[in-house]
Amino acid sequence: MAAFNHLLHNPTVRRLGRLNPPHLILSVATCRFASQPTQPEPSGALLETKKPVNLAVKYYLKKKREHDAFLALENAEFRLGQKHLANMMGADFESMTQTDIDKAIEYLFPSGLYEESARAAMKPPAEVYPKQKEAEFDGEGRPLHPFYFTTKPNYSQALFDVVEVLEKLMLLNDQLQSQGIYPDRELLLNDVALSGTRWMAKDEFEKSFLESLSTDQYDELISALDRITFQHFSYKVKDFIFKYRVSSGLIQSKVEILPVLTDEKGRSYVEAQGQKKSACAKVRVTKPGTGKFTLMNIDFPEEVQGITYFFGMKERLAIMFPLQFTKLLGQVDVEAVVNFGGSASQASAIRYATAMCLRSFVDEGMVARMAVAGLLTQDVRVRERKKPGQEGARRKYSWNKR
């Protein structure tokens, strides 16, 4: 206590106290001296202060418990159904995979429906029911995500990352070009490099973000991603770009490359068929050749013609375009037989069949360029039928008041 009084009567302390009394008093009052015994702090339930749980946390915990209980019940029913299915199919329950379950369901419940979602299926509950977001706030209700108050934090974070990458690419482009460094043409992300993929669809983004997006928000995100791919050095962030791209699933990706056969003269040849509406064409490409092009209608086998079979220049250019594009014009012989359809449909069928044959004679780089040019995509459109009570397939009769 004497030391405390001595500290208060110190003139330096008095001057400081006049300048900032509350700070000084607090500092002095909190000092403890080694000679002064410390009082034992009270213990017990009197000092236990429990902070009230935030209402948002309570609501989240309640929904989380309900969702977990629901999934646990559905998982138990799925396992029970899997046991019954294994007994019916005579399979081992423990070694039964999801592929075995799909085959068993397809065998027990055959369906001719084209829509896969309308067919019978047996999937794990985690794949059937939508996922739920994890807690977005701590125990006191403070949000964990920096974009929580945008109501779409995952979408906002993705858009922020895209803009950040775009700004870095633009800065890198300016710096390298000022030094005379230009992008590598073989690594550019052009249409050929992106031909087998596409941007994620709106529903795919919603499933990934676990958030609903409007059309304007989706268009804004795709527009920003397109700006990244347009940059010269976009290949340096290729992994980031392909995080938002999925396989396009075009028809040509599902068709295997046709095998090259050998005829009696030792020449290589490939045969393919093409269709367009009701027209059908069978084409045979032989290599090496002299550039001979023979065309025949199956109804008139005695009349063998060349490209003069078509009167219009449009059809003639269409059937010659695959040969010009692959630079094999004059190096192969083409024999085509057509049936049914009109001139435009027959030309489209020959064009597709010729391109499929030429794909076996070119390298992978040319195959990718052919895919970008649309040579490997078959046109499956057909004429829409006329509807009863209408003038045409879509056209309605004009209504007159009198």
Per-residue pLDDT band for 393 (boundaries 50, 70, 90) equals: very high
Structure tokens at 132: 């739920």
Pair 317, 360 in one domain: yes
Pick from 247, 269, 294: which residue ends a domain?
A: 247
Pair 177, 200 in one domain: yes
Pairing of strands 333-339, 293-297: parallel
Pick from 247, 279, 306: which residue ends a domain?
A: 247
What is the residue-averaged pLDDT of the chain?
A: 81
Pair 211, 265 in one domain: no
Q: What's the pLDDT tens digit per position in 127-145?
A: 888 777 666 666 666 777 7
Query: Does residue 49 lie within any of the structural domains?
Result: no
Pick from 247, 281, 312: which residue ends a domain?
A: 247
Q: What's the pLDDT tens digit per position in 89-109?
A: 888 888 888 888 888 888 888
334 within 8 A of 285, measured Cβ to Cβ: yes
Pair 222, 158 in one domain: yes
Query: Does residue 16 lie within any of the structural domains?
Result: no
How far is C-alpha 288 from the geometric centre of its chain's CA atoms? 42
Answer with the residue of higher pLDDT: 257 or 77. Answer: 77
What is the domain range of residue 59? 55-128
Pair 119, 164 in one domain: no
Pair 268, 369 in one domain: yes
Pair 279, 344 in one domain: yes
Q: How far apart are CA 70 and CA 362, in angstroms?
A: 56
Query: Does residue 75 lie within any of the structural domains?
Result: yes
Pair 114, 165 in one domain: no
User: What domain count does the chain have?
Assistant: 3
Pair 243, 278 in one domain: no
For residue 272, what is the domain's CATH number? 3.30.230.10
Pair 67, 91 in one domain: yes
Cis ω before 288 (30° cut-off from 0)? yes
Phi/psi for 293 (5° steps) reads -125, 110
- Provide the residue type at 163 as one letter: V
User: Which range is most confident: 42-56, 155-169, 234-248?
Assistant: 155-169
Pair 173, 202 in one domain: yes
Is 6 a residue whose pLDDT tops 50? no
| Statement: the pTM of the whole predicted model exceeds 0.85 | no
Pair 287, 207 in one domain: no
Identify any residues that bridge with 203 across adjacent strands, giving them in sequence order: none
Q: What's the pLDDT tens digit per position in 285-339?
A: 998 888 899 998 988 888 888 888 989 899 999 999 999 999 888 899 999 999 9
Query: Does residue 280 lie within any of the structural domains?
Result: yes
Predicted confidence at residue 130, as pLDDT, reads: 73
